Amino acid sequence: MRKFTYLTPKTLDEAISMHVSHGERARYIAGGTDVLIKLHKGKGSFDHLVDIHDIPELNFIEQNDNGDLAIGPATCFTDVSESPLILKHVPVLSAAIRTRR
């Protein structure tokens, strides 16, 4: 498996700064399953992983004034599948997530 540096920023500004400082050789991850599979298979072309999982402002499910839904990149599947907004407006997404468990 390819070696990489695992970075754990605590703020959005810190995450952006880490990614910018490492350029094309860095990837953001939240869960990281797909990235880790690529690394294990030797297919990853990155040296730094910037884990955004613990950045609070990236964990959200919101509806704007136009009715559009937005899901933050650090929002876990359980939160999405159990969200009242998702259950009301996109129940098929909730059902799809539950089939993955």
Q: What CATH number should be reported for the domain holding residue 45?
A: 3.30.43.10
pLDDT tens for each residue of 65-101: 999 999 999 999 999 999 999 999 999 999 999 886 5
This prediction's pTM? 0.77
Q: How many separate domains does the chain show?
A: 2
Q: What is the pLDDT of residue 1?
A: 58
Cα–Cα dist 29/52, whole Å:
6
Nearest to 9 by CA among 48, 49, 47, 51: 51
Residues 46 and 81 in one domain: no
Residues 22 and 49 in one domain: yes
Residues 49 and 36 in one domain: yes
Residues 65 and 89 in one domain: yes
Cα–Cα dist 97/85, whole Å:
15
pLDDT tens for each residue of 13-72: 999 999 999 998 998 998 777 777 777 787 777 889 999 999 999 999 999 999 999 999
Question: Which residues constitute the domain of residue 44?
Answer: 5-54
Residue with tokens 């500004």, as numbered in its chain: 13
pLDDT tens for each residue of 5-19: 999 999 999 999 999
